[in-house]
Chain A
Amino acid sequence: MKRGAIAAAALAVLVGLSGCSAAGEDELVAQAKADFDALVESASAVDVAVLHTLEVEEPAAEPCDSEPDSEKEHTVFVAAGTFAIQATEAQEDELLTSFAPLFDDEERWTEISDDLPSTQRAYVDVDGITAAVTVDEGLLALTVFSPCR
């Protein structure tokens, strides 16, 4: 009887702990938006002589699974801007890497390095939030995806 009680208590603790560590979907979307806002704030501060425009799109819930009948979705946050006519390649490269400090929490973020072109930096967090910064063809694209659920 005593052993059973201990086992039940241990199970309850485990369940409780796992319940605490898994953020709800709304929380993950809110976190993704916060991460996106940080990216946009950083990009907005760039000199217009380097980044000429920056526009934020409405976030949208979109299918995220290639399975035909899948109902899985993620919320996508996108901002895009064109580089100034006189911006140099060095300035574009510098901007691409300038967002790295936003992802320097190693306990939360992992940089994605496999199969990425040199024009892109991407990071995924412990909950599956993915952020990507892409600079190519004179365009900066900031993209944050909430986890696919």
Chain B
Amino acid sequence: MDEASEVEPIDPDVPSAEGPTDAVEPPHDQAAEPVAARRTGRRALVIALAVGVPLVLTGAVFAVLAAAGTFDEPEPPQLTASQAERIDAEFAEREDLLAELDYQRTEYELDLSDWTQSEEWTEEYLADTAQPTPSVPNPGGTALPGADPTGRAFLDAIGATDVTVFFEAGPDNCGYYGNGGTELGYAGGCFRPEYPNSLYMAWDPQAESVAWSIFVHEAMHWYQDEHYIQATYLADFAGVDFESYSSVWEADASCRAVYSYGMTLEDYVDTTSPCTIAGWYEGYITDYLVSRGANLTEPDPAAYEPVETSRP
């Protein structure tokens, strides 16, 4: 055992038995200062730990969260890949139907375009009021034979109130070629679409007896255009050009004159436009054009739908 271990501990609160001396510093002052310092140190450590540890831990947590992107601006929402694929699948599943629908829509739009165009052309045509210029007077004069010398009563009766007879033997009268200097008499008329309110008429005096039937035939051409001009446009869109049915058109005019306006078959037998349509009826010409492939009705979108209308 060494000497230090034999020194008795000094309690600063217990007075010394030998009493105070001036030569020696009181032992309790020397011991109290380190103790107080230790206590202060412990308190500082406790405070430091109490504040520092949570701070460090909090910092660490924030660092981890920051690294994980917790404090980043949130990503804008998006459809997930599986959601997007699921939606795409709905379209893929109906691929055939959608292709058919696309085809039908195109067909409808083309037909509607044709219809609209034919309507516009018809409107323009019927609004045309151009008048021809006279060139060669009619050798037969300026009055039709019979009680209706200008054809006014007849024209009014068929609704051609703006139409007048144009007595003209010039080259624009496509139905009259003259008699070539012979003794024969000819009568001819013409309806020119560029002058829809004029009926060209010319005849040699010796052919006056057939002038009225030819006038009625030309008036029937006005009627045809008035009521069926749109059908001719639509037929043309369908590839049925006028030249391919001009003889039918001519026969239709004569037959209407016969079956609707009191003329006879014989009136047209020896003309360039005989009535050759057995069983003619109003609307014959449109049925004929339809039979040739023309679509003469306004497109009905329902007719193009590949499937029926449905609702849940």
B-contacting residues of A (Cβ < 8 Å)?
Answer: 40, 44, 48-49, 52-56, 62-66, 76, 78-86, 110, 112-116, 120, 122, 124, 130, 132, 134, 136-139, 141, 143, 145, 148
Given the complex, which residues of B lie within 8 Å of A115, measured CB to CB? 78-79
Q: Which residue from chain B places its CB closest to the CB of A49 in the assembled complex? A: B301
- Measured in the bound complex, the distance between the Cα atoms of B309 and A83 in whole Å is 10
Within 8 A of A (CB), among B163-222: none
- Ordered by A's residue number, 17 sampled pairs between the chains whose C-beta atoms are within 8 Å are A44-B311, A48-B309, A52-B309, A53-B307, A55-B310, A66-B82, A79-B312, A85-B105, A85-B301, A85-B302, A115-B78, A132-B79, A134-B87, A137-B98, A138-B102, A141-B90, A148-B82
- Measured in the bound complex, the distance between the Cα atoms of B310 and A142 in whole Å is 16
Interface presence of B83 (CB below 8 A): yes
Contact pick for A112, options B78, B308, B310, B312, CB 8 Å: B78
Contacting pair A139 B77 (CB below 8 A): no
Q: Which residue from chain A places its CB closest to the CB of B82 in the assembled complex? A: A64
Interface presence of B97 (CB below 8 A): yes
Interface presence of B86 (CB below 8 A): yes
In the assembled complex, the CB of A57 is this many whole angstroms from the nearest CB of chain B, namely: 9
Within 8 A of A (CB), among B94-131: 94, 97-98, 101-102, 104-105, 108, 112
The 6 closest A-B pairs by CB, nearest first: A86-B301, A85-B301, A53-B310, A85-B304, A141-B90, A114-B76
Q: Which residue from chain A places its CB closest to the CB of B93 in the assembled complex? A: A80
Query: Interface size class for chain B?
Result: 20 to 34
- Measured in the bound complex, the distance between the Cα atoms of B79 and A76 in whole Å is 14
Contacting pair B79 A139 (CB below 8 A): no
Given contacts A84-B301, A85-B105, contact A137 B91 (CB under 8 A): yes
Contact pick for B310, options A54, A64, A116, A122, CB 8 Å: A54
Contacting pair B83 A130 (CB below 8 A): yes
Given the complex, which residues of A lie within 8 Å of B98, measured CB to CB? 82, 137-139
- Measured in the bound complex, the distance between the Cα atoms of B235 and A46 in whole Å is 37
Interface presence of B162 (CB below 8 A): no
Q: Apart from A85-B302, A115-B79, what are 12 other A-B pairs with CB-CB below 8 Å? A: A53-B308, A53-B311, A54-B312, A79-B312, A80-B90, A84-B305, A85-B101, A124-B77, A137-B91, A139-B91, A141-B91, A143-B86
Contact pick for B82, options A44, A65, A85, A138, CB 8 Å: A65
Contacting pair B86 A62 (CB below 8 A): yes
- Measured in the bound complex, the distance between the Cα atoms of B191 and A68 in whole Å is 82
Given the complex, which residues of A lie within 8 Å of B81, measured CB to CB? 66
Given the complex, which residues of A lie within 8 Å of B91, measured CB to CB? 134, 136-137, 139, 141
- Measured in the bound complex, the distance between the Cα atoms of B97 and A132 in whole Å is 22
Contact pick for B307, options A49, A82, A143, CB 8 Å: A82
Contacting pair A63 B78 (CB below 8 A): no
- Measured in the bound complex, the distance between the Cα atoms of B104 and A44 in whole Å is 23
Contacting pair B309 A130 (CB below 8 A): no
Interface presence of B291 (CB below 8 A): no
Given the complex, which residues of A lie within 8 Å of B80, measured CB to CB? 64, 130, 148
Given the complex, which residues of B lie within 8 Å of A81, measured CB to CB? 310
- Measured in the bound complex, the distance between the Cα atoms of B310 and A114 in whole Å is 34
- Residue-wise, chain B 52-85 has the 8 Å CB interface mask toward A (1 for contact) of 0000000000000000000000001111111100
Q: Which residue from chain A places its CB closest to the CB of B95 in the assembled complex? A: A137
In the assembled complex, the CB of A149 is this many whole angstroms from the nearest CB of chain B, namely: 13
Contacting pair A114 B78 (CB below 8 A): yes
